[in-house]
């Protein structure tokens, strides 16, 4: 496997991201961006911690129209934030339910409110508000002149296209994932409980160099699995089961997200056929993922192969998505998404279909889009359903 790339990013990376954001903000008439979710705070600062697991404390980053971003964060994060390129770090002794950063934000934003300025926030698809809604309502009430606009499109346009350093990290974690899937035949066999298979998979991913395996789902059942989001049962694998494992492992804060299907001891004909259809749908997706194509076109390209066996369109809502600091990111390969695919996007191709008696099958590969077309980051799945 390839050598690990350097961890983190040099300041020049964050300077470039901030400059691009500020150009886009200028065009959009925004006087700043108020951000508060893990991926966005990390995108502009490099602040990287598992502490986001705790919902107790809110964290804020303000990207002004000019100059470096300003961090408004709990004091517990100050030391780590001081190691980033950020200079202006304002902290409070959190948690403090009566004032969890609201005074500091009010002070920062008051001059903009006095000018009736507009700032951007994430209000759109695939976003949430990572602060108490009541605090947000109070903040807005404190700043009567301030206008807030949805800046999801702006942030998405930046984050969807990855830098060479981001692609290095994504490529590395995809290689770790591929190496891990290569070892599945060692630990998945008839008689082994599914939850133990999951445990072995996590161990193997850590062995291969993953920092963590935040996402691991799958299923196994006779002649095909029924569900792709369940935690594993303790039911032992049996001959004739179709086993699927789908993982989001991380390295330096970047995810892979792909799956593999296996037949335990023997494979039924219908599952073989479903596998073949999805393998070819993925192949069509790889060929179609060219700069200039839309996600909608990519979706229809894959869907037209899937329709050989299932014309329902399935129930997963899309056939792939963006990939980066989050397991799933914009865009979506779906009929509703007319995003134009660009060079250096990192994407999943994830065709799925329903078959037989309520079975579902999903295939997934990860690609980076180059000027000449898709380049696989994952080791391509076997052309025929592997029997192990």
Task: Give the x-and-dash track for 199-238 against a second copy (CB under 8 A).
Answer: x--xx--xx---xxxxxxx--------xxxxxx--x----
CB of 264 to a second copy, least distance (A): 21
Touching a second copy, residues 332-361 (CB under 8 A): 332, 334, 336
Residue (227 or 375) nearer to a second copy, CB: 227
Q: Which two tokens stand for residue 135?
A: 């605090």
Candidate segments 282-290, 324-332, 343-351, 363-371, binder of a second copy by CB under 8 A = 324-332
d(CA 360, CA 219): 10
Binding to a second copy by residue 294, rule CB under 8 A?
A: no
d(CA 120, CA 152): 8
The dihedrals phi and psi of 357, each to the nearest 5 degrees, come to -95, 75
Residue (16 or 50) nearer to a second copy, CB: 50
d(CA 29, CA 77): 32
Touching a second copy, residues 235-274 (CB under 8 A): 248
Closest by CA position to 258, among listed 278, 234, 236, 232? 278
Residue (132 or 223) nearer to a second copy, CB: 132
Among 150, 268, 276, 283, binds a second copy (CB under 8 A): 150
d(CA 283, CA 314): 19
Residue (50 or 387) nearer to a second copy, CB: 50
CB of 308 to a second copy, least distance (A): 21
Among 137, 186, 308, 338, binds a second copy (CB under 8 A): 137
d(CA 283, CA 281): 5
Q: Which residues of 171-186 are buried (b: 16+ CB within 10 A; e: fewer)?
A: bbbbbbbbbbbebbee
Touching a second copy, residues 54-113 (CB under 8 A): 54-57, 74-80, 93-98, 100
3-class state of residue 112 by DSSP:
helix
Among 49, 106, 110, 344, binds a second copy (CB under 8 A): 49
Binding to a second copy by residue 318, rule CB under 8 A?
A: yes
Touching a second copy, residues 173-192 (CB under 8 A): none
Among 5, 132, 193, 386, binds a second copy (CB under 8 A): 132
Among 125, 165, 183, 300, binds a second copy (CB under 8 A): 125
- In angstroms, the Cα distances linking 235 to 138, 202, 226, 268, 294 are 50, 18, 14, 20, 42
By CB under 8 A, how many residues form the interface with a second copy? 76
Binding to a second copy by residue 324, rule CB under 8 A?
A: no
Q: How many Cβ atoms are within 10 Å of 383's Cβ, its own excluded? A: 11
Contacts of 50 (CB under 8 A, 6+ apart): none
């Amino acid at each position: 496997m390839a050598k690990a790339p350097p961890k983190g990013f040099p300041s020049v990376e964050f300077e470039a991201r901030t400059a691009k954001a500020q150009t886009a903000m200028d065009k959009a008439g925004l006087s700043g961006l108020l951000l508060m979710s893990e991926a966005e705070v990390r995108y502009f600062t490099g602040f990287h911690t598992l502490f986001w697991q705790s919902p107790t404390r809110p964290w804020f980053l303000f990207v002004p129209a000019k100059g470096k971003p300003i961090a408004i964060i709990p004091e517990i994060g100050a030391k780590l934030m001081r190691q980033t390129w950020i200079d202006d770090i304002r902290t409070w002794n959190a948690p403090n339910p009566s004032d969890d950063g609201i005074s500091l934000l009010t002070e920062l934003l008051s001059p903009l409110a006095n000018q009736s300025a507009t700032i951007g926030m994430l209000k759109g698809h695939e976003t949430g508000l990572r602060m108490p809604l009541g605090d947000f309502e109070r903040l807005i009430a404190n700043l009567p002149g301030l206008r807030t606009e949805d800046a999801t499109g702006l942030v998405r346009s930046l984050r969807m296209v990855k830098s060479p350093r981001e692609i290095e990290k994504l490529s590395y974690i995809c290689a770790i994932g591929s190496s891990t899937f290569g070892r599945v035949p060692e630990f998945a066999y008839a008689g082994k409980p599914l939850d133990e298979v999951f445990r072995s998979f996590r161990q193997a991913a850590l062995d291969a160099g993953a920092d963590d395996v935040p996402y691991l789902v799958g299923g196994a059942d006779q002649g095909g699995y029924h569900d792709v989001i369940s935690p594993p049962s303790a039911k032992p694998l049996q001959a004739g089961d179709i086993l699927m494992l789908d993982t989001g492992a991380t390295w330096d804060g970047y995810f892979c997200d792909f799956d593999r299907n296996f037949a335990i001891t023997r494979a039924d004909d219908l599952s073989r056929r479903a596998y073949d259809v999805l393998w070819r749908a993925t192949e069509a997706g790889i060929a179609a993922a060219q700069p200039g194509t839309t996600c909608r076109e990519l979706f229809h390209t894959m869907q037209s192969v899937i329709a050989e066996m299932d014309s329902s369109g399935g129930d997963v809502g899309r056939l792939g998505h963006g990939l980066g600091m989050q397991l799933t990111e914009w865009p979506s390969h779906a009929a509703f998404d007319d995003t134009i695919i660009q060079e250096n996007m990192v994407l999943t191709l994830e065709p799925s279909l329903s078959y037989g008696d309520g079975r579902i099958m999903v295939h997934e590969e990860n690609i980076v889009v180059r000027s000449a077309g898709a380049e696989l980051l994952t080791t391509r799945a076997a052309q025929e359903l592997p029997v192990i």
